[in-house]
Amino acid sequence: MGEAGQATFAMQTFERIHPVEFQRRFLSQSTRHTGREFMQFRSLQVIKGAISTAQGSATVRLGNTTVVCGIKAEVCEPDVKQPSSGYLTTNVELSPMCSARFRPGAPSDEAQVGSEHIHRLSAHLLDLTQLCIETGRAVWSLSADIVCLKHDGNVLDAAVIALVAALEDLQLPRAEFDSATGMVSAERTMCHVEVKRGLFPATFTLVDDMYVVADADDAEEQMAAASLLVVMDRDGKLVNVWKRGAGLMSKETVELCVNAARVRMAEIAKALH
Amino acid sequence: LNRADGSAQFSAGNTSVVSGIYGPVEAKVYEEKLDRAVVEVKFRPDIGAPTTKDKWMESAIRNTFEREILAHLHPRTLVQIVIQLREGDGSVDSAAINATSLALVDAGIPLKCMITAATCAVLSDDTTVVDPTQEEIDAARSTHTFAFASGSSTGPLYVDSRGDFTMDEYNHCYDLCALATERVLAFMRTAIEGKVTKEAKISAA
């Protein structure tokens, strides 16, 4: 195509066939293709109690990324080594429904890594002895399923917020263990569980080896050289700093991101309550 | 490992990790990339079948090494990194990274730099321990693993800090691990030089 033809290229066509160049045009001018600032996060919306059949649930919308977390509670026997502790298992599901990137079948590597990472973070959320019904005989086992409905980048942040919100929404019936029959009976009164630490995530992505942007969307994630996850608790102490990918982020950049994460924490706290 | 193109064993205390490299070999048609080599990592635990924990480790190692391997020199091939944990007693992730670095050199895979890693833990009495054992990790308030590219001091290549910590503790651990990785690099250099001179003697004889 000649120069005149290139000048009349529709923007959408350019975005399709030269996605990297398209993004660079914005990034080199210190802005992003959606008009956001580099360190600006997308608007966050949290709706608790969306799923009536689950004991706890929450829907999180982070821009166009939508994630739902549902928690089901079951009674089971505790581990012999920890007779007063219940269980909290987390699973992240990234199905073809949320993005063309995923194929049907066994969980993708991204889903497994996400599941594992959230499982590790969730250890900080609850004191599992709260889930004890009768030491050594019966405990609550919570299984949290985090399903991504729409993938427009930064599913991990949305998933963590959804898990925290679902746990805050969770109501368990008061349960009594009858040692004669070995059965657990549930009363009508419901009670919440205490979320111990609170997790406030913020993901920063190194795009095109040069620009650090907060809360990357799908188009920006495709160009990611590295990404940094910072998770804080409500007192501002760090719970997790995790850098994936080998693109270089300087020590100063990491400090900048941690400070931005602190600001983000207030935004998340507001959306949760 | 004598069937692999390159291999190395890295031990620190009771932790022992073996890394084997196969490649560059032919990649499957649906997996291959036209302009670069595909890097695949398999992590096998010491006991039991692989779980999502090992998948996490595989992903971490692949993300770290993918860009440091000069993959453009071997398009449409596969570099397979197989890591076997022989005995785990803490600091497994840094041992795995160090073993893989050495194994890649042994296999002759072109690299941008050497990657070295170290782990440290902040204990409940606020002391910091480099290369903690599993017992120390279980009792620690936070654990931090950093990996650096040799010759580059701008920033870390890989960071995994977990627990309950402040930014000051993070920076302190960062500095400690940076020092520790320098020692690891020196040790690697000695190990590689020793092997190369030994091989030179054998082929000269």
Q: Do A113 and B154 touch (CB under 8 A)?
A: no
B71 vs B112: CA distance, rounded Å? 10
Nearest by CB: B55 against A113, A120, A253: A113
pLDDT for the residue B147: 93
Instruction: Give the nearest partner residue to A237 out of B159, B165, B174, using CB atoms.
Output: B165
Residues of chain A below pLDDT 70 = 1-9
Transcribe A77-140 into DSSP letters: PPBTTBTT--EEEEEEE--TTT-TTPPSSSPPHHHHHHHHHHHHHHTTTB-GGGGEEETTTEEE
pLDDT score at A109: 85
Distance to chain B for A256, nearest Cα, Å:
11
B166 to chain A, minimum CA–CA distance in Å?
5
Say if the Cβ atoms of B154 and A228 lie within 8 Å.
Answer: no
- Nearest CB among A116, A117, A241 relative to B159 is that of A241
Residue of A nearest to B161 (CA): A241
- The mean pLDDT of B153-163, rounded to a whole number, is 87
Q: Is a pLDDT exceeding 80 seen at residue B39?
A: yes
- Whole-number pLDDT of residue B2: 67
| ipTM of the complex, rounded to two decimals | 0.88
Residue indicated by tokens 């009858």: A178
| Chain-chain contact of A253 with B159 (C-beta, under 8 angstroms) | no
Residue B36, pLDDT score:
87
The predicted structure's pLDDT at residue A182: 77
Identify the band that residue B202 occupies on the pLDDT scale cut at 50, 70 and 90: confident
SS3 A58: strand
pLDDT in tens, A145-156: 999 999 999 999
Cβ-based contacts of A228 with chain B (< 8 Å): 159
**Distance (Å, rounded) from C-alpha B52 to C-alpha B40?**
16
Within 13 Å and on the Cβ side, how many CA atoms surround A85? 11
| pLDDT tens-place string over residues A224-233 | 989 999 999 9
Higher local confidence (pLDDT), B1 or B129: B129
Q: Which chain B residues are closer than 8 Å to A225 by Cβ?
A: 67
SS3 B109: coil
Average pLDDT, chain B: 89
Q: Which of A243, A244, A249 to mutate to test the interface with B (most CBs of B within 10 A)?
A: A243
Q: Examine residue B24 and say whether the peptide bond preceding it is cis (omega within 30 degrees of 0).
A: yes
pLDDT of residue B95: 94
* CB contact (8 A) between residue B67 and residue A255: no
Least confident range of A169-183, B52-66, B106-120: A169-183
What does the pLDDT look like over B87-102, one tens digit per residue? 888 899 999 999 999 9
Whole-number pLDDT of residue A4: 52
**How large is the average pLDDT for residues B101-123?**
92
Residue A124: list chain B partners with CB under 8 A: 164
Secondary structure class of A158 (helix, strand, coil): helix
Structure tokens at A268: 């998340």
Using a CB–CB cut-off of 8 Å, the residues of A that contact B are 109, 112-113, 115-117, 119-120, 124, 225-226, 228, 233, 237-251, 253-255, 258
pTM equals 0.90
Mean pLDDT of B33-41: 89
Q: In this complex, which of B52, B60, B170 lies closest to A241 when CB atoms are compared? A: B170
Q: How many angstroms separate the CA atoms of A152 and A216, rounded?
A: 8
Nearest CA in chain A to B115: A246
Name the residue of chain B whose CA is nearest to A107's CA: B52
The verdict on a CB contact (< 8 Å) between A113 and B157 is no
